[in-house]
Each structure stands twice: as structure tokens, then as C-alpha cells.
């Protein structure tokens, strides 16, 4: 698997699946989640409601259509909310491993990930980056290309450091 770090807007990535840092309710939100729902349009939310009537557990992953985005799918992961006391790193790493497993089930060969839980959920950025890179490198997958998409400088710098 080719793992790269890029700066940019995750909704604009030319990949098979975009990974969304969702909340447990699976009804849209702020940050990456809001951006993906805005870019994908109402069909993403409609699919979330149909597929996840009771939401999704922290650390788990599920997929929906990508709606109007160029990606085919959105793989939604629910990261732990560090600011609310959810500090089990296994829940964070599970997001990356489950997303890869789901991508394999879907037949996706390219993915774009955000830095899960490092925004409003408050996970320390350097540790979130290290958890992402180590987990993605250690998880067996048929995915050929994984792109870590950093929206800001702090995420980009942390991911770049974690790569080496």
C-alpha cells in the first residue's frame, strides 16, 4: 500500500472512497463530517438514516453513497471523543483498521482519510497522527493507495513527522 500525506480538502480527493470522521448519531455535524455532507448533498444523509437508524458505535465503520462527490463511497468512522473522556487509543486505531476492512469488502483501491478525532474531539494531534500511520501501515489490506488529507498546518506537520 502506498501511504501519502497531502494538504487539502478531503471532499475534493479523486479516490474510490472518502473516510468521514462522523459522530455516533450519523446525522451530519461539523468539521470533516459537515464538509462531507455538504459536498455529497442530501443523499449522503438519506443513506445514513436508512443504513444506520440507531447510529454507529465508537471505533466502528460503515459506508454510504458519496452523493455528488467524485468518490463512489463514504466510509464513516466514529472516533473517540477525547475531550469528553473517551481516551482508549484502541477505539481510535479501530477506526483506521475497520475502514480498511470495509474498503476491502467494497473493492475500493484508493482511500482518503482525515486525521480522526484530532479536531473538535480533541485528541492530541501528534498522537492521533502516530496512531493513524502505525495502524495503516500494520493493517493488511488490498487497498493500493491511502492518502492522509490534512486540512491545516498542525495536522500536516504531525502526519509528516509520523511518516518517518
Residue 55's pLDDT band (cuts 50, 70, 90): very high
Residue 84's pLDDT band (cuts 50, 70, 90): very high
DSSP 59: T
Domains along the chain with CATH numbers? 2-162 (3.40.220.10)
Q: Is 18 exposed, middle or buried (CB count within 10 Å of its CB: 0-12, 13-18, 19+)?
A: buried
* Residue percentage of the chain with pLDDT more than 70: 100
Q: What is the mean pLDDT of residues 88-98?
A: 98
Catalytic residue set: 33
Taking the whole predicted model, whether its pTM rises above 0.75 is answered as: yes
Amino acid at each position: 500500500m502506498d501511504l501519502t500525506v497531502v494538504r487539502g480538502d478531503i471532499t475534493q480527493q479523486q479516490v474510490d472512497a472518502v473516510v468521514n470522521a462522523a459522530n455516533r448519531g450519523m446525522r451530519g455535524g461539523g468539521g470533516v463530517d459537515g464538509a462531507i455532507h455538504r459536498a455529497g448533498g442530501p443523499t449522503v444523509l438519506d443513506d445514513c438514516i436508512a443504513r444506520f437508524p440507531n447510529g454507529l458505535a465508537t471505533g466502528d465503520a460503515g459506508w454510504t453513497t458519496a452523493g455528488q462527490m467524485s468518490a463512489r463511497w463514504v466510509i464513516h468512522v466514529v472516533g473517540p471523543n477525547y475531550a469528553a473522556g473517551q481516551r482508549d487509543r484502541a477505539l481510535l486505531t479501530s477506526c483506521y483498521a475497520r475502514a480498511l476492512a470495509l474498503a476491502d469488502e467494497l473493492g475500493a483501491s484508493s482511500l482518503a482519510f482525515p486525521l480522526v478525532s484530532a479536531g473538535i474531539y480533541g485528541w492530541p494531534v501528534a498522537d492521533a497522527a502516530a496512531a493513524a500511520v502505525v495502524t495503516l501501515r500494520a493493517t493488511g489490506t488490498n487497498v493500493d493507495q491511502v492518502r492522509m488529507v490534512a486540512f491545516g498546518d498542525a495536522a500536516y506537520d504531525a502526519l509528516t513527522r509520523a511518516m518517518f
